[in-house]
Structure 1
């Protein structure tokens, strides 16, 4: 939970965790029955306003395209 926040020296707020597991479906609506699943996960951390631009630029550069 803290890995992305830790990149900025922050602590993630465990009270804000939101996670959702879903069945895995293919492009044609086929259902995976081999244990695969989709996961959406979010958590919040406070970042000083002066650091917002730097954080966004750093993440965009590091994101796969």
Structure 2
């Protein structure tokens, strides 16, 4: 695996395709844990790409943060997150953070990164309830209409 260089062309992807990819990714992770997502809770947020010095290009590049909930009994959160971790490791994601606790009430947190594409995945207990939150964040993406001829 190689990490993209800062001068490498941005991946080209339409916003609808990015959302569909994030939805597929969260559904796949939920399936690996044997849980069902609640589609009505899906929240895609498209934002501007912000540079190191807070600069924003005016060429259509964007990031996507996609979040969706599932309802899983709280005591099953750690086991579900373990299964998701195993699925991500099989897909060669690096695990950047992992925690499960049983103090007072069960809680779980997992952060992982796809080092090839700079996609981040997070799964966590939401507010001490039966809510298990799935989140996918993308790196900067370029919409097809703004891509240069060499990037298409």
TM-score (normalised: structure 1): 0.70
Q: Residue 35 of structure 1: CA displacement?
A: 3.7
Partner of 2:34: 9
Q: Offset at 1:48?
A: 2.5
Structure 1 gaps, min length 5: none
For residue 29 of structure 1, what is the aligned residue in structure 2? 54
TM-score (norm 2): 0.35
Of structures 1 and 2, the one scoring higher in RCO (CA 8 A, sep 6+) is 1
Kindly tell me the number of residue pairs found equivalent between the two proteins. Answer: 63
- CA positional deviation for 1:41: 1.0
Using the TM superposition, give the Cα deviation of residue 33 of structure 1 relative to its aligned residue in structure 2, in angstroms.
Answer: 4.0
- Unpaired runs of at least 5, structure 2: 1-22, 86-97, 99-109, 114-152
2:112 is the alignment partner of 1:63: yes
Decide which structure has greater strand share.
Answer: 2
